[in-house]
């Protein structure tokens, strides 16, 4: 095991769907209801012969009124224990204030951050990734966790940071 990769992001952006896609099986719980992943859950994952730990987290609603602080702190614990972080955002929603706040908090961790713009279900939607450059994390990687688009490229980059 070369390291720990934590998957973080707002509720409902597709973190658990991405984790299942990487694992090649349905283990993480995917729900239409935001915030379903209550705890951080760690899995043994493998990509191109590299073994690593993959951590699914609950939604991380920083500074949001009425947020479930237990979920947020689980996400922060996950980042603290991780060697690198995949920040998942939702292409169909665009950049939100919560995304920006999360970037600030993640930056403070000093960990490498890979930006995955999820729900790019077809090439005609690839242009939606452009807006996410403004998060200042470098190249936004367009993916579709649901359909498996762009996952290989994302993992190639993520693994190198471990």
Question: Where do contacts with Mg ion occur on this chain (CB under 5 A)?
Answer: 15-16, 37
**CA dihedral sign of residues 147, 153, 156, 158:** negative
Q: Does 62 bind ligand GDP (CB under 6 A)?
A: no
Between 16 and 76, CB nearer to Mg ion: 16
Residue 60 assigned ligand-binding role: yes
The reply to whether 93 sits near ligand GDP by the rule CB under 6 A is no
Binding residue for ligand GDP (CB under 6 A) from 4, 6, 17, 141? Answer: 17
Annotated ligand binding at 47? The verdict is no
Query: Is 83 labeled as ligand-binding?
Result: no
- Asked if residue 31 binds ligand GDP (CB under 6 A), the reply is yes
Q: Which of 83, 121, 126, 131 binds ligand GDP (CB under 6 A)?
A: 121
- Residue 86 near residue 7, CB atoms below 8 Å: yes
In terms of CB distance, is 96 or 160 closer to Mg ion? 96
Q: Report residue 149 as tokens.
A: 């688009």
- Residue 34 burial (CB count, 10 A): 13
What DSSP designation does 129 have?
Answer: G
Side-chain-facing half-sphere of 81: CA atoms under 13 Å:
18
The answer to whether 23 touches 43, Cβ cutoff 8 Å, is: yes
Annotated binding residue at 38? no
| Residue 112, CB-side half-sphere exposure with 13 Å CA sphere | 13
Q: Is 142 in the site for ligand GDP (CB under 6 A)?
A: no
Which residue numbers belong to the known binding site?
Answer: 9-16, 56-60, 118-121
């Amino acid at each position: 095991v070369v390291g720990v990769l934590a998957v973080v992001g707002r509720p409902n952006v597709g973190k658990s769907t991405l984790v299942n896609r990487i694992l090649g099986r349905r283990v993480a719980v995917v729900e239409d209801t935001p915030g379903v992943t209550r705890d951080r859950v760690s899995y043994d994952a493998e990509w191109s012969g590299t073994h690593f730990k993959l951590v699914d987290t609950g939604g991380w609603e920083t500074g949001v009124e009425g947020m479930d602080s237990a979920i947020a702190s689980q996400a922060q614990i996950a980042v603290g224990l991780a060697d690198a972080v995949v920040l998942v955002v939702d292409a169909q929603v665009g950049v939100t204030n919560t995304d920006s706040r999360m970037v600030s908090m993640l930056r403070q961790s000093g960990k490498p951050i890979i930006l995955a713009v999820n729900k790019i279900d077809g090439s005609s939607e690839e242009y939606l990734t452009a807006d996410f450059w403004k998060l200042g994390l470098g190249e936004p990687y367009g993916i579709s966790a649901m359909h498996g688009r762009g996952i290989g490229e994302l993992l190639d980059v993520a693994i190198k940071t471990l």
